[in-house]
Structures are given as structure tokens and as C-alpha cells.
Structure 1
Amino acid sequence: MTKCMKNLIILLISSLILTWNPIHSSSSSAHANAILSSQSQSQSQNNNHNAGLIESTCKSSDSYSLCVSTLEADGRSANASDARQLAQILVDAVRAKAEQALYSLRQQPSVQQCSAAYRSILDEDVPKAQQGLQTGNPQLAGEGMADAAAAAAACQHSLVSASGNKQSVLSVVSQVVRAVAQIARSIITSVL
């Protein structure tokens, strides 16, 4: 699989994960359409207002496409004035994806080995990154995201080892959490 194809798959998976909320998965299609319409409007605003900042910030990341799509999916990036605010949005995306993964894990007791990893991301790694961003300590923020990426990778490895399935939903979610955490870390350490 080419790198371009892999990035496209990650981009599509990320978009699906950003719009999927397991707590409200039984919502009507009208509600889903409203969310997608809102995200389209938000993406249009981002493209017009802050595309330059997003593009220049994402150039320092390992996965440009996923970085751009994650930032454009969050309406706050339209009002971001610097890379620090964009990094905060990425840290928040890691938190949201980790919450989704933890929710999914609660629904499937057979994969509880990952619960501790995602609790660590939510209780330790994301707060550490947020504190580092708030206090102007990029090293602390970068460590938080490096730890989150490592925890997601460990979960993904245990899922694949247990089931042999690299494409299970939880395995893919873990891949996305890891990738977004790595993007946040690379931006934090290179731009801030």
C-alpha cells in the first residue's frame, strides 16, 4: 500500500471517528445530517479564514493530511491565532478519540486490557499536555502526547495479538489516536 493510499485511509477513518459519537449512536439521520452540514460549514470557514496557519503548522507534522483534516473538522481552528491554539485543538482531538475508545471498550469486556491505557491517556497524558501548553512548557506538552501515542500503540498491539485482526474498529481507533497524538507532539516540539 502506498503512503498516499495509507494517508487517505487514515483521513477517511479520522473523518468517520470525528463524526461518530457512540453515546448518541441511535440518533436520527436528520441529526446526523445536521452535524455533517455544520462540519461542512465549519470546514468552509476554516479553508477561507485560517488555511495558511493550518497548512504551515501541519507541514511540521508526520502526517500532513490527517493533521489538516483533524484541525479543519474542529470549528475552533477558524479562530486560532497561532500554532499553540492549533496544538491545543489536536490535544483535545486525542482526548475525544480516547474517550470514544474507552466507551467502546466498556461495551466489549473481552478487550478490557486496553481500558487502563485509555484511562491513562485521559487522566494523565492529555492533562499533562494541556498543562504544558497553558504554562508555555512545550517539553511537558510533548511528553504528554508521546505518552498518549505509546499507550495507544500498546493497546493496538494487544488487540492485534489477541485477535490477529489489524482492522478491528478498536484497532483502527487506536491507530488514529496514536497518529493524532504523534502529530500533536511533532507540532508542539517543532513549532512551539
Structure 2
Amino acid sequence: MEGSCKALIIVSIVAHLIVVANGENATLILLINQTCKQTNNYDLCVTTLNSDPKTGNAKDMRDLATIMVSHVDDEASKTRDHISGLLKNRTIDKPTKKLLKACIDRYNIIIINWLKEVREGLSYRDYGFARDSMAAVPTNVELCERSFEAPIKSPISADSKAMDDLSNVAYDIVFYMFTHPSPPL
């Protein structure tokens, strides 16, 4: 009898933990869904957030925005590293290298200044500051890409597209937070 009581208690505790875990998981799924609905690229938003283990600890939209900004930072660093590698390539002509040098400067500013300021704005709940800083990211990506004009073809178009898509998702989230100071979740 005593053994069956212990087993029943253990089963009850495990069942309770499963219910609590499923409830937390459902809340997180709803939070991700509601956040990503505020963007122009729902699929990229959901995929990016679901790929990050830190998302499991997110409590609100601000946490998800911070995670998305980290992904933008990673993508910017990857693009900057790609540009750096291209600058070492001896087969790339001087006019292209000149444009790439200007682009690497833009990416350094994105990483060192703009994304740092976005993080600060989010941490202090100054969503206007975060929005303004985040808006500079896709603008600088576009300026870099537009600097390549015929006959010079951009060797970083795919990087620019990925960076533009991701930074616009982050911008959309931060913009929503600015226009809705008390988001529902």
C-alpha cells in the first residue's frame, strides 16, 4: 500500500509538470505568433526565433526583439567577414574593392553603433530610440548594395538580401513596440 501511494504521488507530480510545461510552451508559441504577425516576413521571423535556444526563455516581445537583433548582428558580422575575404582576393578589380571598402565601413558602423544602440534602447524600454537606430540598419545595407552600378556587379547581393530581410523583421518588431507601448503579450 505504501509503495502504491508513493507511485501515485510521483505520477501526479510528473503529470502536473507536463501540464505546466505544455502551458508554458503554448504561451511561448502564442508570443512568437503574435510577435511575428507584426512583421512583413512572418515565416522568416518564426523560423529565426524557433532556431534560437534563447527563445525558450523569452517572457515578452522585448525579449524576442532582443533575440532578433542578435541574429541581425550575426548576419552583419558574417557579411562583414565575407567582404573582408573578398578584399583579400587578388582577382577582384580596384573599382569593386573601393566599393567593398566603403561597404565594410558601413557594416562596421551597423555592428558597432546602430545595433548597440538598438540593444540599449530595448534594455531601457526606449522604443523610439531603438526604432530610430534599427531603421538605420536596412538603410545602410541598401546604400552599400546600391553603390554597385553597371558595369560593376555586387559580389555580396545574396548577403545584402539576407541582411535586409532580417533587419526589416527586427525593425518591424521594434516599430510595433514603439507604436504599442503596452503590447498585449
* Aligned residues of 1:98 and 1:122 also touching (Cα < 8 A): yes
Deviation at 1:99, TM superposition (A): 0.5
Deviation at 1:49, TM superposition (A): 6.9
* Aligned residues of 1:156 and 1:175 also touching (Cα < 8 A): no
Report the structure number with the largest CA radius of gyration.
2
User: Are 1:96 and 2:85 an aligned pair?
Assistant: no
Q: Which amino acid aligns with 1:97?
A: E
User: Are 1:118 and 2:107 an aligned pair?
Assistant: yes
Moved beyond 3 Å, runs of 4+:
159-165
Q: Write the distance in 2 (CA, Å) between the matches of 1:54 and 1:140.
A: 23
**Higher-RCO chain (CA-CA 8 Å, sequence separation at least 6):** 2
Q: Which residue matches 1:163?
A: 152
Q: Write the distance in 1 (CA, Å) between the matches of 2:171 and 2:133.
A: 8
Q: 75-84 or 104-113: which moved more?
A: 104-113
TM-score by length of 2: 0.71
User: Are 1:56 and 2:34 an aligned pair?
Assistant: yes
Q: Write the distance in 2 (CA, Å) between the matches of 1:189 and 1:87.
A: 10
User: Which one of the candidate residues 176, 181, 184 is aligned to 2:162?
Assistant: 176
* Corresponding pairs, count: 144
User: Which one of the candidate residues 59, 73, 83 is aligned to 2:51?
Assistant: 73
Runs of 5+ in structure 1 lacking a partner? 1-46
Q: Which residue matches 2:64?
A: 86
Q: Which amino acid aligns with 2:136?
A: D
Instruction: Kindly report the root-mean-square deviation, in angstroms, between the aligned alpha carbons of the 2 structures.
Output: 2.1
* Aligned residues of 1:133 and 1:141 also touching (Cα < 8 A): yes
* Secondary structure, counterpart of 1:50 in structure 2: helix
Q: Which amino acid aligns with 1:174?
A: S
Q: Percent identity?
A: 26
Q: Write the distance in 2 (CA, Å) between the matches of 1:188 and 1:160.
A: 32
Q: Write the distance in 1 (CA, Å) between the matches of 2:61 and 2:148.
A: 34
Deviation at 1:146, TM superposition (A): 0.6
Runs of 5+ in structure 2 lacking a partner? 1-24, 88-96
Deviation at 1:150, TM superposition (A): 0.6
Q: Which residue matches 1:3?
A: none
Which has the larger helix fraction? 1
